[in-house]
Amino acid sequence: MGFAEQRFNVNLSILFTELPLLERPAAAAAAGFTAVELWWPWIDSPTPEQSELDALRKAIEDAGVRLTGLNFYAGRLPGPDRGALSLPGEESERFRANIDVAADFAESLGCKALNALYGNRAEGVDPAEQDALALENLVLAARAADRIGAILLIEALNKPESPLYPLVSAPAAAGIVAKVNEATGLDNARFLMDLYHLSMNGEDLPSVIERFASITGHVQIADNPGRGAPGTGTLPLEELLDQLRKAGYEGYVGLEYKPGDRPSTEAFDWLPAEARAAR
């Protein structure tokens, strides 16, 4: 099958970041992409002014690209925060305030996937208390996603880069997916399979795909080591994506890698131009 048979989108929160936010959708379109995804762009505000939301919506619409994935508020990314929904106090409240804002923004652009980062372990707080809070907030997020006809994504990160994040394996994230679906009865929670993070955890990626492709709602890639473009490291990404397709995954593959010491427009030489437009 190969890369040409996949459906790619580009993450505008890690690629094209040399440009202002509102210029990135058009840059992605100029590079040949028709679909984009985003971390929550307003890292200090779960509830930005409506004018800011409208400006980003217009930039996406004017560029002629589709928004296919959006993170809920998760603090400062990339950085040490790694999510907010399991953190007692102010950060959890900020996450809750963001739920409907993010869902409404996603709905306005036809986006059908919302990603909720779990959050780090907090010093001096019982992990069981954090897990109970996380489930509460994930249930709220799943209901908001269901309201707009979207799925809720649960992501595993990697322990070397996120040592305080509790979901650092595919089984751990899949377990939370099951708990959320059981709690809501909506069956709209899905696993976000980030092959870079899982490889950093030392997981057997073909086995992960075999076990969890059926509950996977989105896939993200970067090569390892280095979190660069495919071909800059040693991961057999083409083979792994072929395995995912054969296992029944037909969704987007998000490009969530660092461009390195070059403009983002030069970081796609591994992908033929005709393969960048999602079919």
DSSP code per residue over 26-95: HHHHHTT--EEEE--S-TT-SS--HHHHHHHHHHHHHHT-EEEEEEPP-SSTTTT--BSTTSTTHHHHHH
Structural domain total, the chain: 1
- The C-alpha atoms of residue 113 and residue 131 are separated, in whole angstroms, by 23
The two tokens of residue 179 are 């708990």
Give per-residue pLDDT as tens, 161-181: 999 999 999 999 999 999 999
Contact 130, 136 (CB under 8 A): no
Q: Name the residue range of residue 257's domain.
A: 3-275
- In this predicted structure, the answer to whether residue 223 has a pLDDT above a threshold of 90 is yes
Q: Where are the alpha helices (DSSP H) in the chain?
A: 24-30, 50-63, 90-108, 127-147, 170-184, 195-200, 205-212, 237-246
Confidence of residue 273 (pLDDT cuts 50, 70, 90): confident
CA 59 to chain centre: 20
Q: Model-level pTM?
A: 0.96
What confidence tens digit (pLDDT) does each residue in 99-118 have?
999 999 999 999 999 999 99
Confirm whether 23 is a catalytic residue. Answer: no
DSSP one-letter code for 118: B
pLDDT band at 2 (very low <50, low <70, confident <90, very high): confident
Q: Residue 23: is it exposed, middle or buried by C-beta count within 10 angstroms (0-12/13-18/19+)?
A: middle
What pLDDT score was predicted for residue 251? 96
Q: What percent of the chain has pLDDT over 90?
A: 92
Residue 266 bears catalytic tag: no
Q: How confident is the model at residue 124 (pLDDT cuts 50, 70, 90)?
A: very high
Instruction: Give me the mean pLDDT over the 260-266 stretch.
Output: 96
pLDDT at residue 1 in the model: 61
Average model confidence (pLDDT) across the chain:
95
| The pLDDT of residue 188 is above 90 | yes
**What contacts 24+ positions apart, CB below 8 Å, involve 40-43?**
40/70, 40/71, 40/72, 40/73, 40/74, 40/77, 40/98, 40/102, 41/13, 42/73, 43/75, 43/76, 43/77
Catalytic site residue from 37, 91, 155, 203: 155
Instruction: Compare 97 and 4 and report the one with higher pLDDT.
Output: 97
- Average pLDDT, stretch 145-153? 98
Instruction: Report the CATH number that the domain containing residue 97 is assigned in CATH.
Output: 3.20.20.150
Q: pLDDT tens digits, residue range 76-102? A: 755 666 799 999 999 999 999 999 999
Question: What is the reported pLDDT for 225?
Answer: 98
**Among the options 37, 91, 203, 256, which is catalytic?**
256
- Helix/strand/coil for 218: strand
